[in-house]
Amino acid sequence: MRIGIIGGGIGGLTLAQALRAKNIDVIVFDRDPGPWRTPGYRLHLSGEALSALRQGLPERFEQAIRASGTGPEAFRTFSIMDHRGKTQFLIPSPAGEDLAMIGRVPLRTILAAEMEDIIRWGVRYERYEERESGVRLYFNNAASEKVDILVGADGVRSLVGRQLLGRPSAKSAGIIGIAGKTLLTDAIRISLNKDLYQGPGFVIGPKGVGAFYTIHDLSGGSVLDGGTTNSLIRTEEPYMVWSVAAPLSIYSADPAKLTSGQLMEETLRLIRDWSPVYRQIVQQATPNSAAAFPFWFPAALAPWMSRRVTLIGDAIHPMPPTAGLGASTAIIDAVTLAQLLATTTDAADALKAYQTEMLKYAPRAVDEARPPLIWQQRFANPLLRVTAMQVFFPAANAFVKWKTQFKSRT
């Protein structure tokens, strides 16, 4: 059995590694020249995703991912802040929660490791033909290939998904974000709200503009417990990820059509009345690091019919980054599918079983991403935003502090 994967992102590479670990013939096609060519910055991996990696991939991969990023120590709290830079509500993270946060480039590089004979970079996929004997794949810059099973892992604009479903698999959430990276200089460190050193922060600004700030500062090194060096580890120098999100109508131009420099100018325009600290972070961003990121939801997360073609990750269940579950859900998809292909006698039955399982957990992940966008839209109302920031959040914060102190005394 030969599995073809279109898309060498997080889900596609995890699937390839999981199949390779089970000695299943697999080949990956991706249009990028290599794993380093990828948009986005830091990803949140849930405990469920880390457990899936442990089950599906050799141990050294999970070890490298943990050593290349941060763990629960970097997500002790989640702050809700106002646009003046003050924390209004500090939410403690659940005790004992397992998680990892890692840069997208290091994660993709780790997952692509040791697969030089499996991944074909720089290949542009066009379409497939499903036949009784298998699936024929066609490319605009390479010869066609035959596989037994095709997996679309090619993101929100999935060509595999469009052909399989007969329509786009994603629809716009009506929000678009601009994100960038700023190195943690001494000047930036001194100016930051101290709560950001405990975990990410979300800023609720006027006119429906929201922002997200998080510090990525590795506390570990490249040596694991016991002094064992793992060559897969990929570390990064400390930086801050920032992003501003708003309805498209708020922007002066379509962010998708702007250069990195223009995106930074647009961001500064959106936050011109905010705390100088927020503006300083954007002004000192790494050159050419700003990029636009439209938010997406699934067009229709429902069963489809095919004995040889399936979809994973954003190709079937795209979701906004507001819950931090997109990469995690793609990893769970990949390991679930690999395990079923390895243990189910009939491949078509494996695809059907995967679809059934995915349609149980993926909608829940998508639904977790919805509330923050709904509230961001509601906070465009000045009265509601002021009431929340001056009354509701401070009262909730006081209650959480009292509850924490009460528990510590009992």
pLDDT for residue 222 is more than 50: no
C-alpha to C-alpha distance for 364 and 121, rounded to whole angstroms: 33
pLDDT for residue 225 is more than 80: no
Q: By residue range, what is the domain housing residue 14?
A: 2-383
Domain-located, residue 45: yes
pLDDT tens, position by position, 9-37: 999 999 999 999 999 999 999 999 999 98
pLDDT tens, position by position, 176-212: 999 999 999 999 999 999 999 999 999 999 999 999 9
pLDDT tens, position by position, 270-309: 999 999 999 999 999 999 999 999 999 999 899 999 999 9
Q: How many C-alpha atoms does 285 have within 13 Å on its Cβ side?
A: 26
- Please state the pTM of the whole predicted model: 0.94
pLDDT tens, position by position, 351-393: 999 999 999 999 999 999 999 898 888 999 999 999 999 999 9
The domain total for the chain is 1
Confidence class of residue 404 from pLDDT cuts 50, 70 and 90? confident
Domain-located, residue 403: no
pLDDT tens, position by position, 128-161: 999 999 999 999 999 999 999 999 999 999 999 9
Domain-located, residue 348: yes
Confidence class of residue 95 from pLDDT cuts 50, 70 and 90? confident
Domain-located, residue 32: yes
Domain-located, residue 84: yes
- Cβ atoms of 313 and 329 closer than 8 Å: yes
Domain-located, residue 405: no
Q: What percent of the chain has pLDDT over 90?
A: 89
Predicted local distance difference test score (pLDDT) of residue 227: 47
Q: What percent of the chain has pLDDT over 70?
A: 97
CATH of the domain at 11: 3.50.50.60
pLDDT for residue 67 is more than 80: yes
